[in-house]
Amino acid sequence: MASEIVSEAAGGRLFTRQATGLVRSVSPLSHIIFNTFTAPAAFVLAIALFWTLGAFPGANLYVALTLGYVSGFIFAFAISTVTSAIPRSGGDYVFVGRVLHPIVGIVSSFCFTAGVLLSAAGISLFLVTGALAPSLNVVGVVSHSHTMLNWGSTLESNHGWQFGVGIIFISLAALLAASGWKWSLRVQNLGFVITGLGLLVTAIVVLVHSGSDFVTHFNHYANPITGNTDSYHSIITAAQKQGTNVNPGSHFANTWPAYGAVIGFSIYAFYSTHIGGEVRQAKSWRTPIAMVGATAINLILCLVMTAIFFHGFGSKFFAAANAVNGTKAWPFSAPPFYVFLSSVAGGSAALAWFLGISLVFTFFVVLWLQFVQPMRAFFAYAFDGVLPLRIARVSSRSHVPVVSLGIVSAMTIGLYAWAVYGSNFFTVYATAVLITVVALILMSVSVIAFAHLRREVWRGSVVTARVMGIPVTTLAGVGALVVAVLNGFLYLHYPGLGITSRGHALRNVGIVVAAALVVYVIADAVRRRQGMALTKAASEIPPE
């Protein structure tokens, strides 16, 4: 008999023998960064901040951002309690299926996957028309380059170019997702650094050139275009004349839809639940920390940057510029995004280039993130017999999951075509949010039920504390359910958030849920013919 080598670990609280170990790909740091990219500050500032300033004038953005990210904390913590107990790639498909029922897991996963695919289409469109085109315009304006301005305005207005350039980004994101963690995490972490540097540089420039200095810089740049020596105040006057409330924080009723705009992004920091099986030390407190921590990082950055923008550009001007964007009162080629205003404040083409690249890179990483979940979901469906096994086929030469990659790419491109030619970013994104709400509700219910229906697994997990006899997991699940329902209510109640036809939106939700049920029923029939009902295959073997 060979002698066992037994070592002490964890300060003598554990003794391990020498045996094969399992090393997972995603480190704790990469885990947090991964979750920050569900709603990175640059992304939220570029979309939610400017969107809400224009669509919901007078909203208190500090309150909206804080409420949005506090909702994010609640949801992230709730999902983390189950993820740290059942850290499996497949996320909601696995834990909702195991806690409630496999068919509920399929419905949840189909809704989440559909939401993510729609988001991928919407984000691709915004990447082209909201990040790349304005960045080219900003560079053109600041550096007086007609070529850049032409490219920027062409991308903003020409659907063919939008589609073509979007396909390039989608293809690059798909290839990155298929390349495995090594390259994906390199790009992700590089993106985190570039995004952070972009925000840091923006903050420094805006703080250095704040107040009257910014007014002078802005008027200097605007004068050749407007012929007005005080364009800054003219824009505020124009907004007031068209009836816009240019005092952020003065209209509380508009803060609710602004909160809705933020919550559409801010509650997905639990996204790493879909890669739970690939994360190191996922069965520890590191999972809640990575999810809640990512939300905290994004909240702090958003609040700080919003305060800096209001201080630097002037809150009235900032609100007015976004309100008149798209009208004659804003005659500039670039929209009043922070990239443009910061570049004007800094007065440097190099700065405009850097901030533009930083924003585009941020959006690209967010787009890559959209491929991570669907590819794993299709894999999980195939492994479980819900879809044909060939969908999980991996190229023996390149180790690329060719079939699932092809399916996800084709679906994204199809939805992107609809986004470009038949819709707009906000409608696509709002539709995605609404479909995802179904998954969020089912996930919340499974968190509530987890400690009661999977008692042994819950006992062996990290979050076993109780408050007044009720498991913290259950309480967190109730909080998450409230957040999920509120999320759905806000998007259905406020058309300004993108849902202009409730009937159509609810029909779309119904189609996805029905598709999940139909797929399950067909798969079950096929598997029964093969001798193993799907319900049986997905059910837990009784241990006793």
Residues within window 258-297 making contact with other proteins, judged by CB under 8 A: 277-278, 281, 283-285
Q: Which is nearer to other proteins, 5 or 468 (CB)?
A: 5
Select from 146, 182, 224, 468 the one that contacts other proteins (CB under 8 A): 182
Q: Does 21 bind other proteins (CB under 8 A)?
A: yes
Q: Does 1 bind other proteins (CB under 8 A)?
A: yes
- CA torsion sign for 388, 391, 392, 393 is positive
Stretch of 196-204, 297-305, 311-319, 528-536 contacting other proteins, by CB under 8 A: 528-536
Query: How many chain residues touch other proteins (CB under 8 A)?
Result: 72
Q: For residues 28-87, which are near other proteins according to CB under 8 A? A: 85-87
Q: Which is nearer to other proteins, 303 or 392 (CB)?
A: 392
Select from 129, 461, 473, 487 the one that contacts other proteins (CB under 8 A): 461
Angle (CA) 16 465 272, round 5°: 70
Q: Does 542 bind other proteins (CB under 8 A)?
A: yes
Q: Does 20 bind other proteins (CB under 8 A)?
A: yes
Using the CB atoms, write b or e for 411-425: b if 16+ within 10 Å. Answer: bbbebbeebbeebeb
C-alpha dihedral, 345 to 349 to 354 to 360, nearest 10°: 90
- CA torsion sign for 458, 461, 465, 467 is negative
What is the number of alpha carbons within 13 Å of residue 20 lying toward its C-beta?
0
Stretch of 36-44, 134-142, 387-395, 471-479 contacting other proteins, by CB under 8 A: 387-395
Tell me how far, at minimum, the Cβ of 215 lies from other proteins, in Å. Answer: 44
Stretch of 222-230, 236-244, 394-402, 424-432 contacting other proteins, by CB under 8 A: 394-402
d(CA 30, CA 186): 9
Q: For residues 189-248, which are near other proteins according to CB under 8 A? A: 189
Q: Does 176 bind other proteins (CB under 8 A)?
A: no
Q: Does 537 bind other proteins (CB under 8 A)?
A: yes
Residue where the block lists tokens 């520890």: 284
Closest CA to 108 of 72, 77, 84, 82: 82
Q: Which is nearer to other proteins, 113 or 188 (CB)?
A: 188
Q: In residues, how long is the chain?
A: 544
Residue where the block lists tokens 């960045």: 135
Q: For residues 86-125, which are near other proteins according to CB under 8 A? A: 86-88, 94, 98
Stretch of 56-64, 298-306, 386-394, 429-437 contacting other proteins, by CB under 8 A: 386-394
Alpha-carbon Rg for the chain in angstroms: 24
Tokens of 234: 């003219």
d(CA 462, CA 335): 47
Task: Tell me phi and psi for residue 123, to 5 degrees.
Answer: -65, -35
Closest CA to 73 of 302, 267, 297, 263: 267
Say if residue 159 is exposed, middle or buried (CB neighbours under 10 Å; 0-12, 13-18, 19+): exposed
Stretch of 44-52, 127-135, 181-189, 370-378 contacting other proteins, by CB under 8 A: 181-189
Q: For residues 321-360, which are near other proteins according to CB under 8 A? A: none
Select from 147, 216, 327, 539 the one that contacts other proteins (CB under 8 A): 539
Tell me how far, at minimum, the Cβ of 391 lies from other proteins, in Å. Answer: 12
Q: Which is nearer to other proteins, 6 or 300 (CB)?
A: 6
Type of residue at 394: V
Q: Does 316 bind other proteins (CB under 8 A)?
A: no
d(CA 336, CA 222): 13
Q: Does 467 bind other proteins (CB under 8 A)?
A: no
Q: Does 392 bind other proteins (CB under 8 A)?
A: yes
Q: Does 452 bind other proteins (CB under 8 A)?
A: no
Select from 41, 141, 185, 443 the one that contacts other proteins (CB under 8 A): 185
Ordered DSSP codes for 7-30: EEEGGGTEEEES------SB-HHH
